[in-house]
Amino acid sequence: MIDLAGVDYLGYGQDEWDTDEVSSSGFSRGVEGQGPGRFRWEDRPEAASQPRRFAVVVHLLSLQHNRRLRLRTFAADDQFPVVPSLKDVWGAADWFEREAFDLFGIVFEGHPDLRRILTDYGFVGHPFRKDFPLIGNVEVRYDPEQGRVVYQPVTIEPRVGVPRVVRDDSRYLQAANEQEGKAS
């Protein structure tokens, strides 16, 4: 076993951009309310054709036969994802399973020491889930009056990340014309 990873299929096959037609300015027409975190998983578009939400992918390598194998299994319950642990079969699965538990919330049944490995003990949520807010839930800052680190609610307003679109700007053309005028 060379790798084990969690996968969140929230919004799989959906996008927030109208990519059916292209204009001279490219694919820059956003579609509201289609992306991950903007609908409930149960109400997702084309819910019947979508796979379950959480999966675990394992990569296996045979050095003797020079073969690779990728296994994928889905958790039966989207609300409480549980899959069997592979730690008894491959000892290296220990840290990978803890990482998937910490970042995705996937529980590995039979794992002897399933606890957080990358986030703080008081961390709420699972940051690699696609419905986890991009700005997080709390801010951490040092308070000089209290002489310690304090947690407070996030003060950043949530927004949808929109790709930057570069358009023709007459200022650049004017600057180029001025440079040509000075050179002559």
| Count of helices and strands (H, E) across the chain | 2, 7
Q: Residue 75 has what pLDDT? A: 96
CA distance 39 to 49: 17
CA distance 169 to 56: 48
What are the CA-CA distances from residue 105 to residues 7, 78, 170 (Å)?
11, 11, 51
Q: For the full predicted model, state whether its pTM sits above 0.75.
A: no
Q: Residue 133 has what pLDDT? A: 74
pLDDT tens, per residue, the chain with 184 residues: 999 999 998 877 665 555 566 566 555 555 555 555 555 556 655 554 566 899 999 999 999 999 999 999 999 999 999 999 999 999 999 999 999 999 999 999 999 999 999 988 778 889 898 888 766 677 888 999 999 988 888 776 655 555 555 555 566 666 677 777 776 6
∠ CA 123-86-126, rounded to 5°: 15
Contacts of 91 (CB under 8 A, 6+ apart): none
Neighbours of 80 (CB within 10 A): 11
